[in-house]
């Protein structure tokens, strides 16, 4: 076997919970003593650290949001003196200021261990060659993959994002066995491997996808074209160290998350109360060990659900489902809340179309909303079947999402592909309102 394990040693969930309670108490005290922001936030909520006597008492703690991080720019949530900070990372704000997070040496060390655990969960060994296709720099992804890979003891091949040519060359020359990227990048590679007919020249076994939601269909496509046996889903956000806060095991029945590093609450984004076990809500995280920028009930805006059943793999770490979108990505169409992942899900059921799609929303003159879903005809399929296929998809959308959407089939390869995240929902309804002034 591989020797050192990065898995926690808990024998039971009770032991894990006792550990979480200690971590929660430590975090609350640490933040209260050392961060003016948290102290004020606690005082405003009339909560003192000694209020926390059990895990359930987390409900008394105030929330933290992305705007708190932006308002505290450039060092929000900082809870240690500057001489203890060894690195910062930032997350791109789509609007306004970036969110910058501080790391102490111990935070970096913890993160490497968390990431090494991901590779252990994916059942890598030290012979594996891990080709990293995500970015390096202010954004955390690349360096996290590399630290974790080195800590684990496999060989890191740090190529970075984009640059398909070098990636293909490395896959062939170095015989990389693991490929880490966004879903769009992996799909781009899959198409290139297919186009050049080099599948039998590479040795990919595992693909680890992060940073972007992806459908079952995309995973299937990536596996077929690259020959990889497993596609893993790595969640993570910069506020919470970065990627590497959990991973699905080889059974792929949900993402085991590192509950000894953070507490995950799933709350209704409107009421901020816990949703019933197993229902979808917003992920709210509280760190248990983070020194530089601890998080207390941080609202991630990511949607998922807990998977209450124990995993057949036997690992005691609890699971959440795939990220089902952002509470901000949700769009309302004819009074129905729709998450892009629901559209993904419907489209995944059709072999006749490609994996790229776009949703366009319009407001028509008679005051009704109109949804047009653009999908690509599968390569090699006849245009003559477009009408029939569009109707089938439309029927399925009505059945599964309970809304009427029109489907437009476009030529294969015409929807934009990028190595980074693809924008899929285009809401033109507001354009029209602003034109009408």
137 vs 310, beta carbon nearer Zn ion: 310
End-to-end CA gap in the chain: 67
13 vs 311, beta carbon nearer Zn ion: 311
For position 313 contacting Zn ion by CB under 5 A, the verdict is yes
For position 249 contacting Zn ion by CB under 5 A, the verdict is yes
Total residues contacting Zn ion by CB under 5 A comes to 4
Sole window of 130-138, 243-251, 356-364, 411-419 interacting with Zn ion (rule: CB under 5 A): 243-251
For position 317 contacting Zn ion by CB under 5 A, the verdict is no
11 vs 365, beta carbon nearer Zn ion: 11
For position 307 contacting Zn ion by CB under 5 A, the verdict is no
CB of 311 to Zn ion, least distance (A): 3
For position 58 contacting Zn ion by CB under 5 A, the verdict is no
For position 118 contacting Zn ion by CB under 5 A, the verdict is no
**Residue 6: Cβ within 10 Å count:** 19
186 vs 249, beta carbon nearer Zn ion: 249
> Of 347, 369, 348, 349, nearest to 360 (Cα)?
369
Single out the residue of 16, 307, 311, 415 in contact with Zn ion (rule: CB under 5 A). Answer: 311
For position 280 contacting Zn ion by CB under 5 A, the verdict is no
Sole window of 1-9, 18-26, 248-256, 429-437 interacting with Zn ion (rule: CB under 5 A): 248-256
CB of 418 to Zn ion, least distance (A): 32
CB of 244 to Zn ion, least distance (A): 17
For position 316 contacting Zn ion by CB under 5 A, the verdict is no
Where does this chain bind Zn ion (CB under 5 A)? 249, 311, 313, 315
């Amino acid at each position: 076997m591989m020797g050192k394990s990065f898995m926690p040693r808990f024998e039971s969930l009770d032991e894990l919970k006792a550990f979480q309670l200690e971590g929660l108490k430590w975090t609350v005290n640490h933040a209260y003593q050392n961060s003016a922001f948290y102290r004020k936030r606690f005082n405003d909520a009339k909560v003192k650290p000694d209020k926390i006597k059990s895990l359930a008492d987390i409900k008394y703690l105030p929330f933290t949001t992305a705007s708190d991080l932006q308002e505290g720019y450039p060092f929000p949530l900082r809870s240690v003196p500057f001489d203890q900070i060894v690195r910062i990372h930032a997350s791109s704000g789509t609007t306004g200021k970036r969110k910058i997070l501080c790391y102490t040496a111990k935070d970096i060390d913890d993160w490497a261990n968390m990431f090494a655990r991901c590779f252990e969960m994916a059942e890598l060994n030290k012979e594996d060659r891990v080709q990293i296709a995500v970015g390096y720099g202010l954004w955390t992804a690349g360096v996290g993959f590399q630290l974790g890979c080195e800590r684990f003891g496999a060989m890191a091949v740090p190529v970075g994002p984009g640059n398909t040519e070098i990636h293909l060359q490395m896959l062939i020359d170095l015989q990389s066995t693991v490929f880490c990227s966004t879903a769009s990048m992996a799909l781009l590679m899959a198409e290139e491997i297919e186009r050049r007919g080099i599948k039998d020249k590479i040795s990919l076994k595992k693909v680890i996808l992060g940073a972007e939601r992806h459908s079952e269909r995309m995973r299937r496509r990536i596996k077929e074209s690259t020959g990889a046996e497993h596609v893993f889903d790595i969640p993570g956000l910069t506020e919470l160290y970065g990627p590497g806060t959990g991973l699905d095991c080889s059974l792929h029945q949900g993402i085991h998350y590192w509950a000894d590093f953070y507490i995950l609450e799933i709350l209704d984004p409107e009421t901020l109360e816990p949703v019933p076990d197993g229902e979808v809500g917003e992920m709210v995280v509280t760190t248990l060990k983070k020194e530089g920028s601890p998080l207390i009930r941080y609202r991630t805006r990511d949607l998922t659900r807990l998977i209450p059943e124990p995993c057949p793999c036997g690992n005691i770490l609890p699971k959440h489902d795939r990220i089902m979108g952002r509470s901000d990505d949700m769009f309302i169409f004819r009074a129905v809340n729709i998450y892009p992942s629901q559209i993904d899900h419907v489209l995944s059921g059709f072999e006749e179309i490609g994996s790229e799609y776009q949703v366009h929303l319009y407001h028509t003159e008679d005051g009704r909303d109109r949804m047009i879903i653009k999908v690509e005809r599968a390569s090699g399929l006849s245009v003559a079947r477009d009408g029939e296929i569009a109707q089938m998809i439309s029927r399925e959308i009505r059945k599964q999402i309970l809304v009427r959407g029109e489907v437009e089939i476009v030529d294969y390869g015409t929807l934009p592909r990028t190595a980074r995240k693809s924008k899929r929902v285009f809401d033109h309804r507001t354009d029209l309102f602003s034109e009408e002034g």
